[in-house]
Amino acid sequence: MAHHAMLLIVVLGVLSITTPGTTHPLDPLSAAEITAVRTAVLASPLVPARPLHFHYVGLDEPDKPDVLAYAYGAAGSSSHALPPRRAFVIARAGGQSHELRVDVTNASSPSVLSHAVHRGAGFPTITLEEQFAAQALAPAYPPFAESMRTRGLLVEDVICSVLPVGWFGGAGARRVAKLQCFVAGATANYYARPIEGVTMVVDLDRLAIVGFRDRVAYPVPKAEGTEYRAGKAGPALAGPAPAPGVVVQPEGRGFDIDGHVVRWANWEFHVGYDVRAGAVISLASVHDEDAGLRRRVLYRGFVSEIFVPYMDLSEEWYYRTFLDAGEFDLGLWAYPLQPGADCPANAAYLDSYNVDQDGNPVKVRNMMCVFERYAGDVAWRHTESGFPSQLITEVRSDVSLVVRMVVSAGNYDYILDWEFKTSGSIKFVVSLTGILEMKATSYTHADEITVDAHGTLVSENTLAIYHDHYVTYYLDLDIDGTNNSFVKNIIITTRRNTGNPTTGGADTPRRSYWTVRREVAETEADGKVDVDAVPAPTCCS
Please report, as residue ranges, which positions from 388 to 447 form the binding site for its own copies (by CB under 8 A): 388-397, 399-402, 406, 408, 410-411, 413, 415, 422, 431, 433-435
For its own copies, which is the closer residue by CB, 383 or 484? 383
What CA–CA distances, in Å, run from 32 to 27, 57, 109, 168, 373?
Answer: 13, 13, 12, 41, 34
387 binds its own copies (CB under 8 A): yes
217 binds its own copies (CB under 8 A): no
Burial 238-247 (b: 16+ CB within 10 A, else e): eeeeeeeeee
349 binds its own copies (CB under 8 A): no
Mind telling me the catalytic residues?
Answer: 324, 412
140 binds its own copies (CB under 8 A): no
For its own copies, which is the closer residue by CB, 70 or 322? 322
How many residues touch its own copies under the rule CB under 8 A: the total is: 137
Q: How many CA atoms lie within 13 A of 478 on its CB side?
A: 20
**β-sheet with 462-465: strand ranges across:** 438-440, 462-465, 455-459
Cβ 26 to its own copies shortest distance, Å:
24
14 binds its own copies (CB under 8 A): no
186 binds its own copies (CB under 8 A): no
Which residues touch 187 (CB under 8 Å, ≥6 apart)?
Answer: 193, 223, 226, 227
**Near its own copies by CB under 8 A, which window of 27-35, 70-78, 237-245, 480-488?**
237-245
119 binds its own copies (CB under 8 A): no
C-alpha 20/C-alpha 33 separation (Å) is 11
Binding its own copies (rule: CB under 8 A), the pick from 65, 211, 254, 481 is: 254
Pair 456, 438: CB distance under 8 Å:
no
Note the helical H segments in 93-158: 128-137, 142-151
Binding its own copies (rule: CB under 8 A), the pick from 16, 484, 485, 508 is: 508
Cβ 104 to its own copies shortest distance, Å:
30
Cβ 106 to its own copies shortest distance, Å:
37
Residues 43-102 close enough to bind its own copies by CB under 8 A: none
Residues 275-294 close enough to bind its own copies by CB under 8 A: 287-291
Cβ 110 to its own copies shortest distance, Å:
32
Beta carbons within 10 angstroms of residue 218's beta carbon:
18
For its own copies, which is the closer residue by CB, 83 or 309? 309
Q: How many CA atoms lie within 13 A of 236 on its CB side?
A: 4
- C-alpha closest to that of 83 among 98, 65, 109: 65
Cβ 245 to its own copies shortest distance, Å:
3
Q: How many CA atoms lie within 13 A of 296 on its CB side?
A: 18
